[in-house]
Structure 1
Amino acid sequence: MYLGKRSNGIYFVEFFDSEENRKRRVSTGKRNKREANLFLYSFKENQKKNKKIIYKSLVEYRDEYVKFVAEAYSKNYLTSIKLSFRQFIKFVDDVPLKKITIPKTQQFLSTVYIKAPKAAELYSRTLKASFNRAVDWGYLSENPFNKIKLPSSKKPYPIFITKSEFKKIIDNTQDSEMRDIFYTAFNTGMRLGELVNMKWKSIDFNNQKIYIQNSNSFATKNKRDRVIPLNKIMQTVIANKLKKVSSIVYDDFVFSKIRGIKINEDYVSKAFKKIVRLCGCDERIHFHTLRHSFASNLVQKGASIYIVKELMGHSDVATTQIYAHLIKENLEDVVNLLD
């Protein structure tokens, strides 16, 4: 930043505008150098007071944010972010972040919502989080997505299956390895990715617990470790599997068709769906339903939502609240506790 003089004798201040990513000039309106210097001093002070916004284009920011997310979050979340940015950039083009306005973001989400409400909700959620980070990093003064509200849509409660329905599925499962995987999902609430990546070293045989931990080769959905105690059914499942293993290699996968080779997630998912259809069960039931069923059955038996949250590995109890409608406590009985 320096003081210059025009041919008409009026001084100007030249400085670099980080928001515009270019040099700019501001007239002092003064011909007297002393007065012009006073203007320069005042201008510098105002610049210090105002928050500096670093210039960043949308594509540049996307690349930086994707790199950040890749180191901290799951692959599925990363895929959602890449998709959201791709669609948004396609709509607004590669513009400077500061040029992205509330009306433009509203127009984007409204256009998507007309054709695909679920996609609009995904884009809104992921882009809002990413632009909050842009504010934190000094690329924006405010998040244009924070002011956008999509039409509210009633979220359906998750489908779950009872023990009798689960028994029907198990009875129609001929493959013993698939049976063990289904039992484990129903009795631990583990995600499919966690199941197929589980190794013998993850099981504490003395305390009858499974430790779900992140490693160089696998990361949970939210990168959080957790512990799940084994109930009697799972203790039996693990004990029976141990009888079939001549010697345990702790770095081997617990579930495997060929020793040392991980079972494909898609293979398990399709096998489960095939059996569901064979049993004539609800078409909406899929492998992830076993995880929902674990949580739902616990809540119905009186388990605390906060305990279920820990067992499920949810980052926020708000996620676990989708099972709250299953709590069968009588309101009068609860109030009478004060008597």
Structure 2
Amino acid sequence: MIDKQLRQAISGYLNWIRSMHYDRPNAGMLYSLVLWDFLRFVKDKSIAWKDMFTLDILKEFRKYTTLKNPSHALIGLSSYLFRNRRIPEPLVIPNYQIDLPDIYEKYLAYHEQSRQIPYTQVKQVRRVLASFDGYLERHKIDLSSLNIEHLDAFMAEFNERLAPGTCRLYRCYLRGFLRYLYQERRIITTDLAPLLVGRRLYAQAKPPKFLRPQEVQTLFASLKFSTPIDIRTYAMVQLAYTLGLRPKEISLITLDDISFSKGELSVADRKGNNPITLPIPEHTIKAIAAYVVNVRPESKYRHVFLTLQSPYRPISSAVVAHYISKAMKAAGLSCSAYWLRHTYAQNLLETGVSIFEIKEMLGHDKIESTKNYLHIHIKLMRKVLFDEEL
């Protein structure tokens, strides 16, 4: 009963979005993805209708789903149901906005208006400034007496547990405030913004992550074929694993790109504009054929992979990545869709394919990108570097 009730509610909400001529089709598609995932979550957890749209359930769903930022879709659905008197109150996420002294609030308003930045970034800047204001208060430092030693001490404390990229972003936020104090308000007499720098970081290539043979077996053994989504997911997993295709490349495949008689796939639209024709293994051909014949809806679009809810249209790369990652998560593997691409490259290395051939097959612009895979193949790395046979 609850399953049917929620299914009807989601369908009604998505139809309402379409009837309003929603001008962000990709966002609408993601809403659909989130809400059908929420339906599966509710069924798995046996959640009652009266308990569905609460902050606690939202927190649980965030842990359950592999999709990012599911809150907006659930808030939208709950608001729709509330307006139609289907639930007593909509889902509301508390606003934990921190009130700051007047100078900070004026800067935030100035920053938002002059730069036309999104609200999410304003919230990030506010958090940094709140911590900065707290630091100055604890150490009894006035803004007018700021010096670079104060700033370095604050950043060392504030960024202690943060990733280098986050530290760089937060320094940028603070530099913006310092420029405002110097150029617009004349509160400080020295332009401290250029002096606020981090230590020099040297980029280090991270070895690509891939699945071990046993993990590959676990993944394919766990894949199901009971629903249209399962069959579509299986075909996408096969393409990612046996051909090393990116989610974007999978989403762009058309019926005209596949030669079932020759067992070939033409990949024209690739990152770096490096088209290629790849041989398709027999079991991958069968997986695609099973999806096309039994599942793929009739549509004016020639794309192979379509949505399974009307109106039928091509799925995005985010949808491809979501369902592949979801299948991997269901198999107990904590990894992303790109791990299958990396596993494909690892398999090629193991069979003795040259690094230059792999570059072409993966569609890399530069050989440096492909060389990263040497880090995960110790035998080949030693052979290339030291001409050693192990």
Normalization by structure 2: what TM-score?
0.43
Which of the pair is proportionally richer in strand?
Answer: 1
Normalization by structure 1: what TM-score?
0.48
